[in-house]
């Protein structure tokens, strides 16, 4: 296929905190060194921020380094954390408020800010463009391009205007090739291309499998007399404990009488009847949560997977012609429950390695091992090393004992225990047979505090061009009905937070239906399907959620 191509020094895939920080830092360094460097950022969302979903309490450490005068520049970090509360939910009616002494030190939020990461990314994109970066939203990076020697050459954006049957419609427009000296992959958790690169270059050899959670989030506007700007609430235990699952919940009081609330369910759960969406709706009815929401209005909803394996699961992040940065690799600090500052730092370190290499001209290495050295010598590695045992403790010892060991590790030993716990069981392999698992009783939504999935997806502004190939592909179309249904009651019906997957019965019998139009691009199906039969690929650019300020 003949496609037009454009040449850049650096192509960045994904306009999230990692990708935009990398782009900004490259141009800052280029100006300092008086180098001419061209940088392009492609983003599959309809605009920068449209696909960004995060809690989020932002630790400003990386922002302080990238833009030391960010306050004067108008960065949207305006709500400083004023109070931390941490609960252990013992049941649907009760909770124990933990004294600060019993909370691991890294989870304290002094000096941090409650933010919309979507708006932070929009601001970063403005700074990037002001520095000379070309930012192209609405273009999905669909394919990695390679040189004859096997090194990465760049990416190709997806074709537009192909029908579900594979024919070219009147609106057909072929994708474009973007070639670069170095390509930075910053797609976020379980990146479509990052997943391919990890496999092609064997980047995860010798590492624990990556571990994940699914985060579900809503934004509410609540009555002014219930609003406490800067209040940060975290909790664990109920309702996930009812199914032997783990994870936690959060509620952050932002500005404008808004609260950001959500639940993170670890995807190593074993009960196939568990529904993360339903658990989230249940948690909102807890007295410590509902007291803030009564009389309020739900504004938006979304969901996204997060990589939480930490240092033990972190793949090699460099390969010939490119780098993995941010959550495409998995740089989240799971003890802090924060990944934005670490993603930004990884992008900034990648920028240093790239600018140094470009300055060397033709003699520069294609495989930037200097990036690994920069990571190793940074506070990013120090953070990830100190939190390396978190997943092992929580997965092997359970919520109570695991939390106790995390406290000992962090508060007494400062993350320097003389051993490393490994969790070598991938999340998709943890399900027990449905017949051996108790079904939770999920109450019907009251449409005041709790809601169903379809009305929730409506609030995510999700849309895809209907007549296009389905971006949720099955390796074997028979597996859902012949394997997953009899063994696990087909868990895709429940782990998907958007109602994409259904078992439908009609006069011909049962069939597995994929409602791709609903997909919020969370990637949970690609992660949790027990047969690893579902592969998420990029739909047409502009498709997916359109989050206003998540």
Per-residue pLDDT reduced to its tens digit, 317-354? 999 999 999 999 999 999 998 999 999 999 999 999 99
Going by C-alpha positions, the residue among 77, 75, 78, 79 that lies closest to residue 127 is: 75
Is pLDDT at 492 greater than 80 in this prediction?
Answer: yes
Burial of 202 (0-12, 13-18, 19+ CB in 10 A): exposed
Averaged over 85-111, what is the pLDDT?
A: 93
Considering the domain delimited by 77-114+210-307, tell me its CATH architecture.
2-Layer Sandwich (3.30)
Query: Distance between CA 146 and CA 155 in Å, rounded?
Result: 8
3-state secondary structure of 217: strand
How far is 131 from 49, CA to CA, in rounded Å? 19
Q: 385: pLDDT confidence band, cut at 50, 70 and 90?
A: very high
Tens digits of residue pLDDT in 348-383: 999 999 999 999 999 999 999 999 999 999 999 999
Whole-angstrom CA distances from 357 to 323, 324, 329, 334, 362 are 13, 16, 21, 32, 9
What pLDDT sits at residue 101? Answer: 85
Q: Count CA within 13 A, CB hemisphere, residue 132.
A: 15
At the top level of CATH, the class of 5-67+118-209+311-387 is alpha beta
Query: What does the pLDDT read at residue 163?
Result: 92
Q: How confident is residue 400, by pLDDT bands cut at 50, 70 and 90? A: confident
- In this prediction, residue 73 carries a pLDDT of 98
At residue 304 the predicted structure's pLDDT band, cuts being 50, 70 and 90, is: very high
Is a pLDDT exceeding 70 seen at residue 25?
yes
* Banded pLDDT at 507 (limits 50, 70, 90): confident
Domain range annotation of the chain: 5-67+118-209+311-387, 77-114+210-307
Strand, coil or helix: what is 271? coil
The predicted structure's pLDDT at residue 394 = 86
Q: Answer whether residue 434 shows pLDDT above 70.
A: yes
3-state helix, strand, coil in the chain (%, to 5): 35, 25, 45
pLDDT value at position 1?
Answer: 62
Instruction: Tell me the average pLDDT across 141-147.
Output: 98
Average of pLDDT values for 67-89? 97
């Amino acid at each position: 296929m003949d496609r037009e191509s454009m040449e850049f020094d650096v192509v960045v895939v994904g306009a999230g905190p990692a990708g935009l920080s990398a782009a900004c830092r490259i141009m800052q360094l280029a100006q300092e060194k008086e180098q001419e460097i061209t940088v392009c950022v492609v983003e599959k969302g309809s605009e920068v921020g449209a696909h960004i979903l995060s809690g989020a309490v932002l630790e400003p450490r990386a922002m302080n380094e990238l833009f030391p005068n960010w306050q004067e520049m108008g960065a949207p970090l305006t709500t400083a954390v004023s109070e931390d509360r941490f609960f252990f939910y013992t049941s649907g009616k009760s909770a124990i408020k933990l004294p600060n002494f019993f909370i691991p030190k890294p989870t304290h939020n002094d000096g941090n800010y409650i933010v919309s990461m979507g708006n932070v990314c929009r601001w970063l994109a403005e700074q990037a463009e002001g520095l000379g970066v070309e930012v192209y939203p609405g273009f999905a990076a669909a394919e990695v391009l390679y040189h004859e020697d096997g090194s990465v050459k760049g990416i190709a954006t997806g074709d537009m205007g192909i029908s579900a049957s594979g024919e070219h419609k009147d609106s057909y427009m072929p994708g474009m090739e973007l070639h670069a000296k170095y390509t930075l992959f910053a797609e976020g958790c379980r990146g479509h291309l990052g997943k391919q690169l990890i496999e092609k270059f064997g980047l995860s050899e010798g590492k624990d499998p990556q571990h994940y959670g699914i985060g579900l989030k809503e934004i509410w506007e609540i009555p002014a007399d219930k609003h406490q700007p800067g209040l940060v609430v975290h909790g664990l235990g109920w309702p996930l404990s009812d199914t032997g699952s783990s994870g936690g919940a959060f509620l952050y009081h932002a500005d404008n009488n808004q609260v950001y609330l959500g639940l993170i369910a670890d995807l190593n759960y074993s009960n196939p009847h568990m529904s993360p969406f339903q658990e989230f709706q249940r948690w909102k009815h807890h007295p410590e949560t509902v007291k803030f929401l009564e009389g309020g209005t739900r504004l938006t909803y979304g969901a996204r997977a997060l990589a939480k394996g930490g240092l033990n699961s972190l793949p090699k992040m460099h390969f010939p012609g490119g780098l993995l940065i941010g959550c495409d690799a998995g740089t989240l600090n799971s003890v802090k429950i924060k990944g934005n500052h670490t993603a930004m730092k990884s992008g900034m370190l990648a920028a240093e390695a790239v600018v140094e290499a470009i300055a060397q001209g033709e003699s520069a290495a294609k495989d930037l091992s200097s990036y690994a050295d920069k990571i190793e010598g940074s506070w990013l590695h120090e953070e990830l090393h100190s939190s390396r045992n978190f997943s092992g403790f929580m997965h092997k010892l359970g919520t109570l004992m695991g939390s106790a060991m995390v406290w000992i590790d962090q508060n007494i030993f400062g993350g320097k225990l003389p051993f490393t716990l490994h969790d070598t069981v991938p999340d998709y392999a943890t399900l027990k047979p449905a017949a051996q698992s108790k079904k939770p009783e999920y109450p019907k939504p009251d449409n005041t505090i709790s809601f169903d999935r379809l009305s929730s997806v409506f609030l995510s502004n999700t849309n895809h061009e209907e007549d296009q190939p389905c971006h949720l592909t099955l390796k074997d179309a028979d597996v859902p009905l012949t394997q997953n249904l009899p063994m696990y009651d087909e868990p895709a019906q429940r782990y998907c937070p958007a109602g994409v997957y259904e078992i439908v019965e009609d006069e011909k019998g049962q069939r597995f239906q994929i409602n791709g139009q609903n997909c919020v691009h969370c990637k949970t199906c690609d992660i949790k399907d027990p047969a690893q039969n579902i592969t998420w690929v990029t739909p047409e650019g502009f498709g997916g959620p359109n989050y206003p300020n998540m």
